[in-house]
Amino acid sequence: MAASMAPNGRDVADEWNVDICPPTAPEWDKRLRVFRCVAAAVSEDGQKTGSQFALPE
């Protein structure tokens, strides 16, 4: 995740909440093994700050 962070992404928050979303039981039964990682900036006002990650060029 750090490699895909936007240049000013580290200025948005000192701390990040990271959650991992595993496949559902039906997806697992269909042999889908994709785990998703979701990160959110922890900010004083609790407002979303927009995307701070981008696909590598």
Q: What is this structure's pTM? A: 0.50
Q: What would the pLDDT profile of 29-41 be if each residue is shown by its tens digit?
A: 999 999 988 877 7
Tokens 């696909």 correspond to: 55
Q: What would the pLDDT profile of 39-53 be if each residue is shown by its tens digit?
A: 777 777 766 666 666
